[in-house]
Structure 1
Amino acid sequence: MSPSAGGLVVFLLSVQVIQSQDGWRVNYHQTDVCAAKGSTVKISCDYTYPHGIRYSDIKDRFWFTKEKDGEPVDLRTDSEYSGRVNYTCYSKDCYLIITDVRESDSAEYKFTFMTNKPGEKYTGSPGVTLSVTGFQVQVGRSDSTLFELTCHSSCVLPGHRVYVWYKNEEYFMTGSSLLVSSGSTDRYSCYLGGYWDQRSPAVYGPQRPSVSVSPSAEMLEGGSVTLTCSADANPAASYTWYKEHEDSPRASGQIFTITNFTAEHSGNYYCEAQNEMGRSNSTLRLITSSGKSHAFFCSLTHYIHNPTKEVTHSKRGL
């Protein structure tokens, strides 16, 4: 089964908003627009003006989100919208079309028009609120053995929408949520059907942590040893340091410093990286010999999500 092809995705709340004053009027055809990142958005309005003003008197009409020195800035001149904005007007009906919308396009859009007489202009305010959403995978606990992954957008997408899930960069299934076994090492991402290039960042448990030691050469007893741990994970991992045969952690955070290092500090230390998807750890052995302290990677053992599944790597010295 293959994902559907790309297309136009625009979601409108069809409630008209009419802004008027003394015969001047702007009628917005929707109040809020929610659109998927990368889609094309169309915002529409119609306008009227007092009797005595002719259509030929209208000098300019445009859409804006910003003002400079108290004057609206035409979107067509805004560098952030360069090449992505088009206006279409039929008589008194005007449309704003924005292609390849970005999350930074989320704003309030207003329509203004002016005549050939100085100072004779009107802006419909408030305007239309555009919310551009990307997609994120939210991780929740279903029970002790399952996680629930949900494809989430920052604004409400009304109607029936098809969400597509990828597992390890391959199409997996459709649905707004997904149950995953605790202990899975796979990577999951989602997107709204038709927008495969707008996929969410993948979520996954911590990969085997990398542990480094500083200084890495010989040092005299009484010095300091700094251990640093890092692991590829999304959501970001938290870190805890343990010493073998001790129940309580020695430290939390990526960096663990042992000051005044002595023979009593010798032993196996391990860093555990953990996020909502699982956990993983690496073990480092610190040895004191002949009055001097040496830091060695004597073994690297990692547990991915499932503490009963052990994989031991070859010895490597620093």
Structure 2
Amino acid sequence: MAEVSQQLQSSWFNPTDVFSCGLKGHEKFPSPSVYAPKLPSVSVSPSAEIVEGSSVTLTCSSDANPAAKYTWYKENGNPDVQRPSEEPQLVFSSIQSSDSGQYYCTAENKLGRKTSNNFSVNVKYAPKLPSVSVSPSAEIVEGSSVTLTCSSDANLAANYTWYKENQTLPHGQQAIYHLTSIRSEDRGNYYCKSENQHGQINSTSQFIDVQYGPKLPSVSVSPSAEIVEGSSVNLTCSSDANPAAKYTWYKENEDSPKASGQIFTITDVRPEHSGNYYCEAQNRIGHQNSTLHLIVVAGSMKSVAAGSITAIFLAIIFLCAFLFIRRKRSWKRTSEPGERPDNQAQENMGSVYDSPSAPVQRTPAEPHKDFCYASVIFSKNQEDSLYSNIRLAQPHRHKEEEEDEDVEYTTVNFKSSSATTESGNQKAAEELYELYSTVSKHPRV
């Protein structure tokens, strides 16, 4: 038998041939046939869809005698997937997506060798971690076109959903998201979700930094109340810009800037500071201006003085009314029969002085008219006069009675708190507040 095997190996034969041997004279009892392997076939278990992580077995089978030995190969992969063995199975205990591909096996014995047809292993798996790319990758300026692309390895093919700051973008399930004219409001974090029937996964966030020129600045004043002479004022300019804006302050009709920086401080406000101010917000993309109208009012001392003038004026009116009532009573007494006012008027006529500094002059009263004058001198080197002229109705009187009227002068001196006792005497004189009241009055009976 060994001699026959030796002869078969040394002679040329067709691998499909079948051989047997027998003893001479006993040809009716041949030995079992020997032959090379037939074309191997490949099967897979389980036969359903192959999902990543599951256990998969590939089996190679071939009819051969003597029994064949098998070797597995992956096309374009490692040629020695499994060492030759008598076991025809190739086992994946936890198959991975990288195991997908074309497999084939060979069956071989001493009489020959056969190779199977290719068998495709298609491993289904959920999407891998997606990546997001931005085009253009350089600086993104407002108004330009931007494209976001989401890429994820998946089997079956993945569908994509886009998000901005956890808000779904209305785009459909596409891997590419277009921003045809990007705006400053589009600035933020973007990411995508990749999903198929085997699972889903989100990408990491991609920050889109949209650069834009300053928006229209807003200007505020602090304190926001009335701006009083001598106080301190802060003007603040604010503008939305990317990159951050730089600020410059100007006053209308002046070429040179007043200040730079977001806050402009005027420490000692004077009336000449009134006017229109504007700030310019600027970055390398653009600039914008905003205007503010500033009004400076008189100081607190002038406000007090204005109140004092009002109070004095009211006091004069009350004084005139009081004297008018007294005079009216006097008219009634002098109009009684049998009385002669001539001598009595001569005896009772007199002058009243509230202040020795006010000279007294006697002037004849104008017929049929009584006048009350009030004059107020206020502020520095400037006189603001307030006159109150009241004409009082009178009954008909004798000419002698009209000529014998008494005149009262009242002088009220107010000294300014800003006057000093030494070198400020002249200044105090200039700031003297004076009130003159002249009342024409018939003498009492």
Q: TM-score range by the shorter chain?
A: 0.3 to 0.5
Give the TM-score taking structure 1 as reference length: 0.35
Relative to total residues, which structure has the larger strand share, 1 or 2? 1
Higher RCO, Cα 8 Å, sep 6+: 1
- TM-score (norm: length of structure 2): 0.26
Q: Which has the larger radius of gyration?
A: 2
The structure in which a higher percent of residues are helix is: 2
